[in-house]
């Protein structure tokens, strides 16, 4: 369904854009129907930029993003982009910023009808809205005519997911959708994402939180400074993290009964770089990621990301 092939993004910087910030470097991965892929990395690692490129909110500098085999850079006409957004939608961290506070929140649902389904009658539309609200486990009476400030962050987030469902989407980009929610609402939204996956939706789950990625995803992509350092089946990556960065991220997840001051500087049992073993320093550059198993790929441990 969605494929990223050696995608890079350079933001121009300085007078006349002569220099640039490389936010994303040679990133490749795929999202299949019914699969949740989590994109995990610290702040500034390029996660949101990838989400924005997938949503066509930012352009790709090098490489290709394809949806069902077609390069999305080729969708230049308004009509083509609208069709793409009927299939691919995003939900973001702050649900309140996606709603105009002076209008009832469910107006975002009516906007879908005006934009995409002007020929659908009022009664049928109401049925469709009720069905979408039921999927996200919202009682229509709870949200109809309510203003954003009268809803909780979790309710509003679910309303925005219902909006995406009205479009009959196939891929959802969920960018830090849980970050602003409290613990009990988080689990509701996570379980909702699991329901959507079961309905065959592909989900690109952008997060800086490893525990959330582990809970919800089938496949994990670990990003560092815009580059993929490790990727694979979530269970494999979490059970046997290879890259020192992944190991550091995992070691720093807060746990009950362990204090911050007890954390070792480096996780014990550092391993030699498998990439280095395969492609010793001085050899011609190897592939961007080394396959250590069918479902597990790792990048070079060197800090600059170049093959050792």
If the CB atoms of residues 23 and 159 are measured against ligand ATP, the closer one turns out to be: 23
- The Cα–Cα gap between 87 and 67 comes to 10
CB of 298 to ligand ATP, least distance (A): 20
CB of 27 or CB of 273, closer to ligand ATP: 27
CA–CA distance, 192 with 156 (Å, rounded to integer)? 13
Estimate to the nearest angstrom the gap between the alpha carbon of 272 and the chain centroid.
Answer: 30
Asked if 197 interacts with ligand ATP (CB under 6 A), we say no
Residue 151: both structure tokens together:
């809803």
Q: Is 224 in the site for ligand ATP (CB under 6 A)?
A: no
- Among 61, 116, 114, CA closest to 84: 116
Q: Which H or E run contains 180?
A: none
Q: At closest approach, how far in Å is the CB of 303 from ligand ATP?
A: 17
Q: C-beta of 193: minimal distance to ligand ATP in Å?
A: 19
Closer to ligand ATP at the Cβ: 140 or 305? 305
In this structure, are residues 114 and 197 in contact, taking their beta carbons and an 8 Å threshold? Answer: no
Q: Least distance in Å: CB of 99 to ligand ATP?
A: 21
CB of 224 to ligand ATP, least distance (A): 10
Distance between CA 267 and CA 270 in Å, rounded?
7
- Neighbouring residues of 241: CB distance < 8 A, sequence distance ≥ 6: 230, 247, 250
Residue closer to ligand ATP, measured from CB, 55 or 166:
55
Give the residue with the Cβ less far from ligand ATP, 41 or 232. Answer: 41
Indicate the residue among 34 and 44 with the shorter CB distance to ligand ATP.
44
Least Å distance, CB 282 to ligand ATP, is 31
> Helices in 5-62 by DSSP H: which ranges?
47-54
> Is residue 213 within the footprint of ligand ATP (CB under 6 A)?
no
Give whichever of 48 and 89 is closer to ligand ATP, judged by the CB atom.
Answer: 48
In 167-266, which residue ranges form alpha helices assigned H by DSSP? 183-198, 210-216, 234-239, 244-251
Tokens representing 36 are: 């949740």
226 in Cβ contact with 22 (< 8 Å): yes
Q: Which residue's CB is nearer to ligand ATP, number 26 or number 106?
A: 26
Q: Is the separation of the CB atoms in 134 and 101 below 8 Å? A: no
The Cβ-side half-sphere exposure at 55, using a 13 Å CA radius, reads 20
Binds ligand ATP by CB under 6 A, chosen from 158, 163, 208, 296:
208
Residue 8 in contact with ligand ATP, rule: CB under 6 A: no
- 156-195 mask for ligand ATP (x: CB under 6 A)? ----------------------------------------
DSSP label of 177:
T
Site residues (CB under 6 A) for ligand ATP, limited to 35-94: 41, 43-49
Q: Is 17 in the site for ligand ATP (CB under 6 A)?
A: no
User: In this structure, what token pair is assigned to residue 275?
Assistant: 């990439």
21 binds ligand ATP (CB under 6 A): yes
Spell out the SS3 assignment of 6-72: EEEEEEEECHHHCEEEEEEEEEEEEECCCCEEEEECCCCCCHHHHHHHHCCCCCCCEEEEEECCEEH
Q: How far is the CB of 59 from ligand ATP (least distance, A)?
A: 11
**Closest distance to ligand ATP from the beta carbon of 222 (Å):** 12
In whole angstroms, the minimum distance from the beta carbon of 147 to ligand ATP comes to: 28
Q: Interface residues with ligand ATP (CB under 6 A)?
A: 11, 21, 23, 41, 43-49, 208
């Amino acid at each position: 369904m969605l494929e990223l092939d050696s995608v890079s993004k350079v933001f121009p910087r300085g007078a006349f854009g002569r220099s640039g910030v490389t936010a994303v470097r040679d990133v490749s991965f795929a999202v299949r129907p019914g699969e949740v892929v989590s994109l995990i990395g610290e702040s500034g690692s390029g996660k949101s930029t990838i989400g924005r490129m997938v949503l066509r909110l930012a352009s790709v500098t090098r490489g290709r993003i394809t949806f069902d085999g077609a390069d999305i850079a080729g969708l230049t006409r308004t009509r083509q982009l609208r069709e793409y957004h009927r299939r691919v939608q995003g939900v973001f961290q702050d649900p309140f910023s996606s709603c105009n506070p002076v209008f009832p929140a469910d107006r975002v649902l009516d906007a879908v009808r005006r934009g995409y389904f002007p020929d659908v009658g009022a009664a049928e539309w109401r049925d469709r809205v009720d069905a979408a609200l039921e999927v996200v486990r919202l009682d229509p009476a709870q949200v109809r005519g309510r203003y954003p400030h009268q809803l909780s962050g979790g309710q509003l987030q679910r309303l925005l997911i219902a909006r995406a469902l009205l479009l009959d989407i196939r891929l959802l980009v969920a960018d830090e959708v849980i970050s602003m929610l409290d613990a009990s609402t988080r689990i509701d939204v996570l379980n909702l994402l699991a329901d959507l996956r079961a309905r065959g939706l592909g989900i690109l789950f952008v997060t800086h939180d490893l525990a959330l990625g582990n809970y919800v995803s089938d496949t994990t992509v670990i990003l560092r400074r815009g580059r993929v350092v490790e990727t694979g089946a979530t269970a494999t990556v979490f059970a046997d993290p290879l890259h020192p960065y992944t190991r550091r991220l995992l070691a720093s997840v807060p746990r009950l009964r362990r204090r911050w001051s007890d954390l070792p500087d480096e996780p014990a049992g550092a391993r030699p770089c498998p990439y280095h073993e395969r492609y010793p320093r001085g050899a011609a550059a190897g592939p961007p990621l080394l396959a250590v198993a069918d479902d597990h790929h790792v990048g070079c441990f060197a800090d600059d990301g170049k093959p050792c």
